[in-house]
Structure 1
Amino acid sequence: MESYLNENFGDVKPKHSSEEVLKRWRSLCGVVKNPKRRFRFTANLSKRYEAAAMRRTNHEKLRVAVLVSKAAFQFIQGMQPSDYSVPKEVEDAGFQIDTDELGSVVESHDLKKVKYHGGVDGIASKLATSSTDGISTNNETALIRRQELFGVNKFQESEARSFWLFVWEALQDMTLMILGACAFVSLIVGIVMEGWPVGAHDGLGIVASILLVVFVTATSDYRQSLQFRDLDKEKKKISIQVTRNGYRQKMSIYDLVPGDIVHLAIGDQVPADGLFLSGFSVLIDESSLTGESEPVMVNAQNPFLLSGTKVQDGSCKMLVTTVGMRNSMGKTDSNSQ
């Protein structure tokens, strides 16, 4: 048997046999017991052909995708931005760019638009500010007009919850609801058995106890909510270094307007959306917005700074472009409209 196998199937190698040899081997040994187990170490030629065909198809799709991507990239590179039209009220106020355009530049990380507007210095010029001296506050009317057009660096706070809402929440306690049902039954039974008002004493006593617990609980929760609200306001009193009228000064982040030049250092939170002006070894932690743990290496090629992120290393100057605090969903809220 061994000589027969060597003579007829000696060219069947354990590995890397030719397809012709494998075909002959499978055809001669086609009728065997448990063929799947028998040929478990032998290449399945039909599957191999299917895999090869799939590879060719995928390769062709990839080639087409690459060609389409190249064509699209060349088209985008060759396409000039459409002429930007400045709204009349913005132009009349002395600015050459509006808040919608500024928001689209930063939030979409559109470096092409930055270049179209003349770079960061060009955008600063269109915001009627200087990258070195900041905005001029000598004209109070102009500052107010800037706030009217571009908004203020605050978010629309939710209204304080009323006392009666806490009363309603206190009434949702399951124990109190059971006691209320007991009070109702007691009133009905007492009045039927002993008449009014003697039979209502027990039921009314239970109702009075329930109301006492509800109002004490609601009052405590309401006062606590007011304390938390005041504490939250204190935590939000953040100051930042800003250049205005040619010199640095300390001011609240809520007083920032587009065109302000802000100075950031390690540990500072970016107070508003803006563009990088200059700095040294700046690393920005964007994990609070993007979820990425690795810090971003911000410079002229990536000048976009988003509010809510933190400076992890280095220091820099930024041009504020869009104001309004960024909420937990990553969107910017502004009460300017």
Structure 2
Amino acid sequence: MPPSPVTEDEEHVAEWHTLTISDIRRRLDTGDEGLTEEEAESRSLTYGRNSLPERKKTPAFIIVLRQFASPLIYILLAAGILSIAFEDWTDAIFIFLVIFLNSGIGSIQEWKAEKSAAALQQMLKIYARVKRGGREEKLPAEALVPGDLVLLESGSRVPADLRIISASSLAIDESLLTGESEAAKKKTPILPSDTPVADRANMAYAGTTVMSGRGTGIVTGTGTKTEIGKIAASVSSSAMGKPPIVIRMEVFAT
């Protein structure tokens, strides 16, 4: 009886770069022929689609109104109104200037964050060369599941997080994740547990681009479990964050 593939929780915490290729195959219950269509369908029900959550575009007026949703802003508004009532025009002008500057800066930051989140979502809307049941297929990236065998070549975008199992002059542009302008050369040997993401030469990450060479990788992470998924979650949370003036006041208070 073949071993059961890892559960979703195990898949999330596994240090794939520390495992041998045979261990990877055993844990993900996959081989040289790739997954069968039936197994891929079953895993799709377990892990979900290889995509990032869609976010509805927030209307501009909602983004602006969010900047006023804070007790500190309410206090400033009250102080501004009182200043007007007492005809203290200097204080009133200063207070409302601070409020509107905060609203403007916060709105721009949130708009940029939403735009970045939308761009990250598009990075997984691609097609990939996959080996299933011994046959090579071209599938939408969202159909990939842990254990799938992905074929990489120059010019292709990595469709999911992969553990590299073969590499021939394979180099990948990972500037999206690492900020490094030079393409990362890929290889297959295991790496120490404390190896940072930027130095994991035996891994390839969703959204990055193959610059040269070719290789094969086993899907280890999909959707929100990918490194780009973590970035998207961080960007999305920042889009819903506190107004800039509130953040600055909290920093000042500590």
TM-score (norm 1): 0.43
Go from structure 1 to structure 2 and tell me whether the alpha carbon gap of 1:232 and 1:247 turns closer, same or farther (over 3 Å shift): same
Secondary structure, in 3 states, of the residue corresponding to 1:313? strand
Alignment match of 2:231 (pick from 313, 321, 329): 329
The AA in structure 1 aligned to 2:213 is: G
Q: Deviations over 1:267-315 (max 9, x none)?
A: 2111111100112101111111011122222112231111122111100
2:175 aligned with 1:280: no
2:182 aligned with 1:294: yes
Q: 5 Å matches for 1:140-289?
A: 142-161=39-58, 165=59, 237-289=125-177
> Which has more strand, going by share of residues?
2
2:30 aligned with 1:129: yes
Q: Distance in 2 between matches of 1:308 and 1:232?
A: 8
Identity %: 28
Q: 5 Å matches for 1:29-44?
A: none
Go from structure 1 to structure 2 and tell me whether the alpha carbon gap of 1:120 and 1:98 turns closer, same or farther (over 3 Å shift): farther
2:100 maps to: none
Go from structure 1 to structure 2 and tell me whether the alpha carbon gap of 1:307 and 1:331 turns closer, same or farther (over 3 Å shift): farther
Q: Distance in 1 between matches of 2:130 and 2:62?
A: 47
Q: Deviations over 1:87-136 (max 9, x none)?
A: xxxxx995242333333345xx642xx1xxxx223222322221x21001
TM-score (norm 2): 0.56
Go from structure 1 to structure 2 and tell me whether the alpha carbon gap of 1:156 and 1:170 turns closer, same or farther (over 3 Å shift): closer
1:45 maps to: none
2:198 aligned with 1:310: no
Go from structure 1 to structure 2 and tell me whether the alpha carbon gap of 1:267 and 1:332 turns closer, same or farther (over 3 Å shift): farther
Kept in 1, the 8 Å contact 2:126–2:159? The answer is no
Kept in 2, the 8 Å contact 1:289–1:330? The answer is no
Secondary structure, in 3 states, of the residue corresponding to 1:329? helix
1:49 maps to: none
1:102 maps to: 11
Please tell me the root mean square deviation across aligned C-alpha atoms, in Å.
3.4
Secondary structure, in 3 states, of the residue corresponding to 1:274? strand
The AA in structure 2 aligned to 1:98 is: T
Kept in 2, the 8 Å contact 1:153–1:324? The answer is yes
- Select the structure of larger CA radius of gyration: 1
Secondary structure, in 3 states, of the residue corresponding to 1:311? strand
Go from structure 1 to structure 2 and tell me whether the alpha carbon gap of 1:235 and 1:95 turns closer, same or farther (over 3 Å shift): closer
Go from structure 1 to structure 2 and tell me whether the alpha carbon gap of 1:277 and 1:332 turns closer, same or farther (over 3 Å shift): farther
Q: Distance in 2 between matches of 1:233 and 1:96?
A: 27
Go from structure 1 to structure 2 and tell me whether the alpha carbon gap of 1:258 and 1:170 turns closer, same or farther (over 3 Å shift): closer
Q: Distance in 1 between matches of 2:149 and 2:36?
A: 11
Q: 5 Å matches for 1:52-71?
A: none
Q: Deviations over 1:198-227 (max 9, x none)?
A: xxxxxxxxxxxxxxxxxxxxxxxxxxxxxx
Q: Deviations over 1:246-266 (max 9, x none)?
A: 010111111101111011111
2:240 maps to: none
CA deviation after TM superposition for structure 1 residue 232, in Å: 10
Q: Structure 1: state its 5+ residue gaps.
A: 1-91, 172-228
Q: Structure 2: state its 5+ residue gaps.
A: 66-117, 190-200, 236-254
CA deviation after TM superposition for structure 1 residue 168, in Å: 6.9
How many correspondences in the alignment? 169
Secondary structure, in 3 states, of the residue corresponding to 1:283? strand
Go from structure 1 to structure 2 and tell me whether the alpha carbon gap of 1:262 and 1:99 turns closer, same or farther (over 3 Å shift): same
Q: Distance in 2 between matches of 1:133 and 1:298?
A: 22
Higher relative contact order (CA 8 A, sep 6+): 2
